[in-house]
Amino acid sequence: MKNKKLMKGFSLLMGIALLAGCSGADRKKALNGQPVVGSVRVVNGDSLWTCDFSALKDTIVLLLSDIAEDLQVVKLDGSDEALVPTSNVLISEHYILVYGRQQTPFKLFDKSGKFLANVGSFGQGPGEYQLVYDAQIDESAGRVYILPWNAKALLAYNMEGQYTESIPLPTLVPKGKFKVDSRNSTLSVFILPFNHLPYVAWRQDLQGNLLDTIPGRHLAVHPDFSNEVFSNKVGGTFDVSLFTFFELRPDTLYHMEEGRLHPRFTMDFGGKDIPIHSYQELPHQFVGDVMVKKQVSEYTYTTEAPSYFIMDKKTLKGSFYKFVNDYLGNMPAYLSASSGYYTLNMEPGTLKEVLEKRLEQKTDLSAKERERLRKLADSIQENDNNYILYAKLR
């Protein structure tokens, strides 16, 4: 009976949080009236998109509905073992995985928010982990994979959260992104290419045998953990790019396939000083940000608030943008995307406060939308577990 009541609560939340998305034609309206800011050319058989930074002029309001389908709002199971911090979220067809850098094990839920299992545990023993840099849910193989920082092996678990094996890696991985292809029993890895490490990327089998390698070469960076590796894994691809904080240089977003890095997107800064920047790939657009570094003391730096940009792959139109969640009263948001989904992990008090503020400030909400947001806000209790917001990218 208790489980039935719990499921009824989840269904209610899902029902009041679902909103209709816009069509593909509506998606293109986001950049209507904006100039062409890029070009696409074939380089060694690869289509490479380039955005001219100087051509970006106006700032548009980018709606979540422009890039994603209906928003789902899921209240996670409130049992003590299921409690999660505000941290990373992975969505797959049937599961929600929540993890972070706190001393909390990965938490696996179904799509209704029902807690299923802790995946492994925090620690230094076999099958345990501390800081984690990347993860993957592989439903077809019934596995969850976890890649810690400075990893020597990829950790594998079953869907009950039990440790099954460690897949050896050919070199230390200071920060790495990976993709397991269970159909071919292969693992592709792209790492922060410190100049003393032999590879920036490689492909191997799940027993640890190398199939092909890519030397670091011009991508190599000094051993500095302020640098990052990005991968959105959009549409089944393994897209990878580097973010460098001190070594400001033009960078490229790549697709890694069959042991090769295929250039996909880059920025043209017109010979001017290169700012701190990063890229991400969406199904129909490239997005990114640029920011200016400032020195505040002899050894300390900060950055100005970033400027976010977007370029459409087909029309090559683009602009700067401000991102809002129009499914929740045009709530200001950050565009966080992974494995084909927009995701957000919110504490109940924060979500309730945001909804109350939107209801107070947005005088142009329709009666139906106002009622929906009011029901959602009123349903949130202070002692609830966190809420997961997600929408499938399109």
Listed by start position, the domains of the chain span 12-392
- At residue 4, the pLDDT reads 36
Q: How far apart are CA 253 and CA 149, in angstroms?
A: 22
d(CA 105, CA 122): 6
The pLDDT value given to residue 301: 66
Q: Which superfamily does 12-392 belong to? A: TolB, C-terminal domain (2.120.10.30)
Q: HEC string of the chain?
A: CHHHHHHHHHHHHHHHHCCCCCCHHHHHHCCCCCCECEEEEEECCEEEEEEEHHHCCCEEEEEHHHHECCCEEEECCCCHHHCCCCCEEEECCCEEEEECCCCCCEEEEECCCCEEEEECEECCCCCEECCEEEEEEECCCCEEEEEECCEEEEEEEECCCCEEEEEEEEEEECCEEEEEECCCCEEEEEECCECCCCEEEEEEECCCCEEEEEECHHHCECCCCCCEEECCCHHHCCEEEEECCCCCCCCEEEEEECCEEEEEEEEECCCCCCCEEEEEECCCEEEEEEECEEECCCCCEEECCCEEEEEECCCCEEEEEEEEEHHHCCEECCCCEECCEEEEEECHHHHHHHHHHHHHHCCCCCHHHHHHHHHHHHHCCCCCCCEEEEEEEC
Per-residue pLDDT, 271: 84
Q: Over the chain, what is the mean pLDDT?
A: 89
Single out the residue of 332, 342, 333 nearest to residue 283, CA to CA: 342
pLDDT digits (tens, 9 = 90+) for 255-313: 999 889 999 999 999 988 898 999 999 999 999 999 866 677 776 766 667 899 999 99
pLDDT number for residue 273? 86
Q: Report pLDDT for 303.
A: 62
Identify which of 79, 76, 108, 107 has the alpha carbon closest to the alpha carbon of residue 94: 108
pLDDT value of residue 292? 65
Residue type, 73: V
Low-confidence ranges of the chain (pLDDT < 50): 1-25, 27
pLDDT number for residue 253: 97
